[in-house]
Amino acid sequence: MAINELTLRRASELRSVVDDYVDASTRALTARWAQAWQEVAQEWQDTIAVILARKAAGEPLTPAQITQLARTQRALAMTATRLQELASEIGPLLEGSVREVVERTADLTTGVAVSQMPPVDSKLLPSFTRVDQAALEQIIERSLGQIHASSLPLADDAIDALKSSLIRAVPSGWGPAAAASEMLKRTRSSFNGGLTRAMRLARTEMLDAHRAANTAQNAANPSVTAVIWHAELSSRTCPSCLGKHGTEYPPDTPGPFDHQNGRCTFIPKTKSWADLGFPDIEEPPDITLSVDDWMQSNPQDAVAALGPDRYRMLQDGQITLPDLTKRVDNPDWRPSYQATSLADLRKVAKNL
């Protein structure tokens, strides 16, 4: 039962292990995109030079004519091929990391639970078994399937963006060198639009695979009686996560479903020492800091995190912590909890 220093440290270590895999994937994706851009950049430089030369020669190139130029068509075809290759590389590039994240989450999650056991001979403690490998494989498969499905449209979308950036006019007063550099910059940024999405995809899927493995492992440990929504309490924590911090759920609850890029975790809470069969060992209390106590002792951080209006409404008792967060369903993703708008909070306050 007692969540202690070691519990919190292990939970935060688990989280940094996952972050390391996410960061490594982000770097790998960025490197792939940079290399691919190198391969097509010269082609675009030449194409843009041709477009600008024709315009300078007095040819009134319409947007349609620009895209139909043989030179443009060639650059687009070459870029499309490269982007399709990139898109198809995303899945294989992330596979190893997804697998590691899931496996290591299963291992480290048990450590978080074990940290709460009473100080007795380990032979007297309940056994902690690792979640079924088949369950972990299923999580990995589902995650890789999602990555594959979401990677496919990346190339087409980037090509569409490239086409429209190409026909967007450069201010007429610009000289050819400035115009060429501006057009190349736009082309590159459309090309990299796919990278932004690939990075978001990697992050989202790896975190969700981590959460799924965490849930599966907690559900597989009979000594775990609940999971606690845990947010890092700081001046940068969002109101929604503050509304959720410390709330308790059954061990097999999927999640926590915080927002995109959310950093919350479920910390397993084990049976009380009495329920584990040690009624005579005095169990220390949970050290989980409640949001109320945190607000009391860190008013400046709390105002920064919540904004002055939410902070005041909470202090005045016009709203409660659960009012700060609401579930938002998303057809393309999972449901997530997001901050209730100030306008909605004011309605709650008024109806009091």
Binding site for Zn ion (CB under 5 A): 238, 241, 262
- Helix H segments across 57-116? 63-68, 70-114
Residue 275 vs 292, nearer CB to Zn ion: 292
**Shortest Å, Cβ 246 to Zn ion:** 14
**Shortest Å, Cβ 103 to Zn ion:** 27
Cross-strand partners of 248: 228
**Shortest Å, Cβ 316 to Zn ion:** 23
Residue 47 vs 265, nearer CB to Zn ion: 265
Residue 107 vs 232, nearer CB to Zn ion: 232
Would you list the DSSP string of 149-182? HHHHHHHHHHHHHHHHHHHSPPPTT--HHHHHHH
Q: Which of 329, 172, 306 is nearest to 238 (CA)?
A: 306
- Helix H segments across the chain? 5-56, 63-68, 70-114, 133-167, 176-220, 239-244, 291-297, 299-306, 308-315, 342-350
Cβ distance 109 to 218 under 8 Å?
Answer: yes
**Shortest Å, Cβ 207 to Zn ion:** 13
Residue 80 vs 289, nearer CB to Zn ion: 289
Residue 14 vs 324, nearer CB to Zn ion: 324
- For residues 204 and 207, give the distance between their C-alpha atoms in angstroms, rounded to a whole number: 5
Residue with tokens 């494989």: 137
**Shortest Å, Cβ 208 to Zn ion:** 16
Residue 40 vs 314, nearer CB to Zn ion: 314
**Shortest Å, Cβ 340 to Zn ion:** 12
- For residues 164 and 190, give the distance between their C-alpha atoms in angstroms, rounded to a whole number: 9
